[in-house]
Amino acid sequence: MAKILVTGYGGFLGAAVARQLLRAGYEVRGLARANYPRLASLGVECLEGDVTDRAVVLQAVQGCAGVVHTAAKAGVWGAWQDYYRVNTLATSHLLEAAHRHGVRAFVHTSSPSVTFAGEHQSGVDESAPYPKKWLCFYPHTKALAEQAVLSAAKIGQVRTCALRPHLIWGEHDPHLFPRVIARAKQGKLRRVGSGKNLIDVVHVESAAGAHVQAINRLLDDDPRLNGQALFLTDGQPVECWEWISKILSTAGVPVPTRSISYSAAYGIGAILEAIYWGLKRKQEPPMTRFVAAQLALDHYFNIDRARNLLDYQPERDVEAEFEKCRPWLQRLATA
C-alpha cells in the first residue's frame, strides 16, 4: 500500500489518524519533534524533526504518496511569528516538498475558526468567507495555510483538500477537557452570556476517519474533492454551557454558577489583551476577545459537503463515549 506522511503524528488527532491509516493498510511515516515508541510498536516509521525546518520536511516527504498535515500551533495567545512559522511557513515547506517528490494526495487539518469574525455562525457552510479582521493569530495563520493548500490543487499532480474539525474531543484529549477542568478548579470559569448558544464538537475518531477517507478519495483522483474545504462535526449542535457542564460533572468537578454578560467579557478581554501586550507577558490572559466570543456566540456548521464528498457518517453514542472518558476525567480532576 501507499506510504503516507503524518505530521504531528504524536498529537491527539495525528495519533488517531496514524492508527486508522495503519488499520486501512497504509504504510505510515510520522514526523514530530519527539519520538513515540507506542506508535512505533504499531508499525509507524517515526522521524524526529521540526516541521518548520525545510530540509527536514523535504527529506520526510520523499517516498510518500500522500501527506496528512495535522501539526499546528494552537491556542489564543502568543507571538505572531511563532504561529506563522508553525501554521503557515511549515505548510508551505510541505507543499513544496509534495510537488518536488510527486505526492498525489495532500490533506490539511484546518479549523472552522478560519471563517470566524466574532459573529454568530449558525449552520453556515463552506461558502462562509475568510474574515477581514482576526481576533487572534491562530485562525489568521491557519487561514493563510488553508488558502495555500487549496490553491495548490490547481498546480501539478498533487490533489489537496482542507478539513475543518471543530472542538475535537474524546478520551485523553490534551486540550479541551483539561482546559475546562483546570479553569473550573481555579475558579476562573464563568458562563458567558446565556450559555444557550449552539456549538459543534467532533469526536477524535470521527475526525480521524474523515482524514483517512480524504486520503483514499484523493489517491483515487476524485476531482470533486480536489481543492475543497470541508467542515467536520458530530452532526448535532449542543448548547455551550450544557456541554461544559457535562464535562465537569463527568469529571466530578462542581459546575460554576457565576456568569458574565458577553459584552462585559469581550470588553474585559480587550483590556487584558492590551495590558498583556504592553507588558510583553507570555502567559495567556484570563479572558480574551476570542474566548469570550467562542463562549457566547453560535458556532455550528453545515456538514453536507463532508457527507457528500467523503460519505462522512459522524453520528456517535455521546453518552457511551463520555462513559469511556469518565475514569480518565476523574483522574484528571484529582491530579
Angle between helices 12-23 and 204-219 (to 10 degrees): 50
Is 84 known to be catalytic? no
What region does 118 belong to: left with phi over 0, alpha with psi -120 to 50, or beta?
left
Cell digits of residue 63: 517516498
Options 26, 83, 138, 266, the catalytic residue: 138
Known catalytic residues are: 138
